[in-house]
Homo-oligomer: A and B are copies of this chain.
């Protein structure tokens, strides 16, 4: 049975980390909210699950995954759950927990990237918090981005199995997620990101290697890949690229 991915239909957002894993593994899945409503799918199906009062394990928010009767929410938990089946994580408990740790650190950086355009509140428009966004973006670009990317560089360089992957000698979902993080940073902060990435060649190499994987390359060229836009987590507001 195909997996059901439930996520907002018009943005990459956090759902993209799950999409990339499913696509890279060639796993069958339905992107529910992007499927026609009259098929019983669509955003209405996502909302039905979210609001189902009889669901004992309701997700707090999208993305969530349905695998038969099982529902899993939280991006990092979804990836941790899917990875053994998709062969996107090594088998040992130690490798699984290290991969998860990297994913959670990527998630932390993604949240901080989001907060550059919404520092005061997610319920307000960007236009209502522009001066605050600029202050926050400065700290993000000058302090946080180097700190995070240097950490990713250090772990890819130190990987005992070599710098072709983050964990061991094969592709994991952490590699895919780091690729997506770099994509997002380059989209949102083209100048600031290039400046920092110039000092993290291992991260760039890993990004390029993931982009060249046949299944990933085909996905990125397809209509299934939603373009970045100004409703997602990574937004190109030139005034914040400082």
Contacts and interface: CB of A to CB of B under 8 A. Distances in A.
Contact of A100 (B77, B151, B159): B77
Contacts of A35: none
B56 A159 contact: yes
A155 interface: yes
A2 interface: no
A76 B121 CA distance: 25
A59 B154 CA distance: 11
A72 interface: yes
Report the copy number of this chain in the oligomer. 2
B136 A119 contact: yes
Interface residue tally of chain A, by bracket? Answer: 35 or more
Q: Which of A94, A136, A148, A159 has the largest count of B CB atoms less than 10 A from its CB? A: A136
Contacts of A143: 123
A77 to B, nearest CB: 5
Contact of A76 (B81, B104, B136): B104
Contact of A81 (B54, B97, B135, B158): B97
A158 B93 CA distance: 31
Contacts of A155: 56-58
A143 B120 CA distance: 13
A115 to B, nearest CB: 7
Contact of A101 (B72, B104, B132): B72
Interface string A89-117: 00001100110110011001001000100
11 contacts: A56-B155, A56-B159, A72-B98, A72-B101, A76-B76, A80-B100, A111-B111, A119-B136, A121-B135, A121-B136, A123-B143
